[in-house]
Every structure is written in structure tokens, then in C-alpha cells.
Chains A and B, each alone.
Chain A
Amino acid sequence: MSPSRPSSVILDEEFLPIRAKLLEIAAALDRIDRACGKDPQLDPREQQLASAIKLLQSDEPARAEKIQRIFSLEYDEAWMTKYRIERAR
């Protein structure tokens, strides 16, 4: 199903919501920075957030899919062997 609208129309609709979401992210990151008792070691979740934000700045397609993968555990192709599960008939 091909896209039905030009980018300018989508931008008209999405500009303010995107702006609002970016401000929410900025404010949440500021809140974390301002917090008392911040752990000097980087929390791995902060690293995930940083990687996702960096990906937003790229021109690559499928950003949503790639950000999902940043927040995902790795898939191990050998999981059945590790779990001692017999392959089906």
C-alpha cells in the first residue's frame, strides 16, 4: 500500500507533535542530569537512549525498526541446543 500523502502534508500534521516529543525527551534527560545521587557509572539504559537519539539524526531508512533493535536483547541462533530442545519432526 503506497503512501497516500506528500511529505509537506505529513510535516504540516506532524511538526508540532514531533516538536513536543523532542521537548519531552530533552526535559527528561535534563531531569536525569539534575537528579541527586547520580551514579558515576553510565547506566546501560542511558547508553541505549544515546544510541537511539544518535540514530534519529541519520538519514537511514527504517529508523523505527533500528531503534527497536537497540532496545532488544540479542537473538541466539543456537538457543535450541543450549536449551536441550529437540528439533521437531
Chain B
Amino acid sequence: MYYIDPHIHMVSRTTDDYETLAKMGCVAVSEPAFWAGYDRGSVHGFRDYFEQLTGFEPKRSMWYGIQHFTWLCINAKEAENVSLAREVISMIPEFLSRPGVLGIGEIGLNKNTRNEAIVFLEHVDLAMKTDEQILIHTPHLADKYAGTRMILDMLCDDQRINRERVLVDHVEEHTIRHVLDAGFWAGMTLYPVSKCTPARAADMVEIFGPERLLVNSAGDWGPSKPTAVPDFILEMRRRGRSESEIQRIVYDNPLMFFGQSRNFVFTPPDNAVGKPC
């Protein structure tokens, strides 16, 4: 089955991972800007990172027939430095018209601080002024519930936002209902220990239905599994779900959400010249 991983940090992964994803049916990835594992020292570090995300990474992915899309921002983990965050936010528009840039993300909260909220709101304001889609990171573990509610408060307060153009990621059992009921898209991240398993994601699909729901691996430089979406596909098949039901979650829904971005130019795999491995 062809699938799309809507949230994966491929700059942190090896070329072997691209090959494995291609062999498993991955035809496209979307890569939100992320924390590097250390705080970058200046706006120049972010400019170089955005060059990598919009320049070299799409080339590397196409070596394996995988189409690469991306989102730009300064991550919540670096938002305590508000002056640097403002420099980065003012530089982002330089990249917004580049091919494959789908919007602003992954913005959000980490420890739910005031500075994180300020930087989040300034990212949202940029997205509204430039008519971009938004991809949102919600905090981990004990901070997730309060952080998700705070993010929803900020989003629902802003009357300019079209909620169908916003994806709130890393939802779990205690946050998914709030996100979907408010009219946003929700992403379930399959990640060892700190987020969700394929079985729990399949449970949430059974409980909440497939509408506005995505599944991703969020593979990055930490312990994570870039092939987590195929694990979800296998879990759904094990439960007797039809191929069309599964395809809706892992292929049709990402296309529907990303299709709202002006830079989403996607070549369906059956139309591609030279199919992936």
C-alpha cells in the first residue's frame, strides 16, 4: 500500500532509512522544522537549516522516489529566547514561496511557558498574514493535556484561522477529542514510550472515526521508528480493516490536508516516471 508520512524529520535520518521507507510504500514525507538537539546560536543557523529543508533534502528523498515537503518555524524548545525567535520569524518569509513549503510548523508549546505562548502567537500571526497552513506540536507527557488546551485556546481565539487548515499533532487519548471537536485536524504520533503505539492509534480510529485524522512516525534523531506508519497499517489489517479504510488514514487524508497548501504539488505514484523501489 502506498502511504505518506505526514511528520518525520528526515534530516536526522540516514539514506538507508529513505530506501527502507520507499520499499515499504512511502511515496511522500512532510518534514516540520525541529529542534536540533541543541539551541542554535543565531538566525544564520536557522537560515542554513531552512536551506537544507528546502534544497538538499528534497533532492535526497527523490533519489528513492519519495516526494519531500516541509514546514518552517523556530521550535518551541528554542522559544525562551524571544529576540532570536523574532529574528527567525521575520526571516521565514524568504522561504515561503519555495517549492514544497507547506506552511508554518511545527510550532507549539514545550513546557507551557509564557515566552512559548508569545512566540506561538507570533508564528500564528505570520501564518495568517501570509495565508499559510499551520502544523502544531503539542507537549509531551505530563505537559500534554494543559499544553494542548492552551494551544486550542489561542487558536480558537483568533477569528482569522480556518481550522481545516491547521493540524494539531501528537494527540493521545486525553487530547484527541478536544482537537477534533474544535474542528482541527489531528495527528497521532507512533513513538516509543512517550507517545502512542500502533494498537492505541488503531483504537482511536475505531473510537473517533477516520475524518481529519492522520498517523505519523515523527522519526527524528532520538529513539524513534521511521517505519511506524507501516506498523499501523499492519495493525489495522490484523483487525480486519479494509484496504480502503486504511488507505484513507495513511494516504487520502494527508493528500486532502496538504492539498490546501499552494506549494503542494504532488505526483501520484501511479503517474510517476520510474516508480520507487
Contacts and interface: CB of A to CB of B under 8 A. Distances in A.
Nearest to B202: A1
A87 interface: yes
Contact of B121 (A64, A69, A72, A88): A88
B157 A76 contact: no
B157 A64 contact: no
Interface stretch (B70-78, B100-108, B144-152, B217-225): B144-152
A2 B209 CA distance: 8
Interface string A54-89: 000000001011001101111110011001110111
Contacts of A88: 121, 154, 157-159
Interface residues of B, number: 32
State the main secondary structure of chain B at its contact with A. Answer: helix
A85 to B, nearest CB: 6
B174 A72 contact: yes
B142 A72 contact: yes
A77 B109 CA distance: 16
A3 interface: yes
A7 interface: no
Interface in A1-36: 1-5
A3 B142 contact: no
Contacts of B118: 85
A1 B146 contact: no
A75 to B, nearest CB: 4
A72 B146 CA distance: 8
Interface string B191-215: 0000000001001011001100000
Contacts, number: 65
B142 A85 contact: no
Interface in B146-194: 146, 149-150, 153-154, 157-160, 172-174
A88 B8 CA distance: 31
Contact of B173 (A64, A75, A80): A64
Nearest to B149: A75
A69 to B, nearest CB: 5
A76 B147 CA distance: 10
Interface string B213-242: 000000000000000000000000001110
Contacts of A85: 114, 117-118, 121
Nearest to B203: A64
Contacts of A64: 173, 200, 203
Contacts of B239: 4-5
B192 to A, nearest CB: 15
Nearest to A69: B174
Contact of A83 (B117, B200, B209): B117
A89 B146 contact: no
Contacts of A3: 206
Contacts of B209: 1
Interface of A: 1-5, 62, 64-65, 68-69, 71-76, 79-80, 83-85, 87-89
12 contacts: A1-B210, A64-B200, A68-B174, A71-B141, A71-B142, A72-B146, A75-B145, A75-B149, A84-B114, A85-B118, A88-B154, A89-B159
* Chain A to chain B: the 3 pairs with minimum beta-carbon distance, closest first: A68-B174, A72-B145, A88-B157
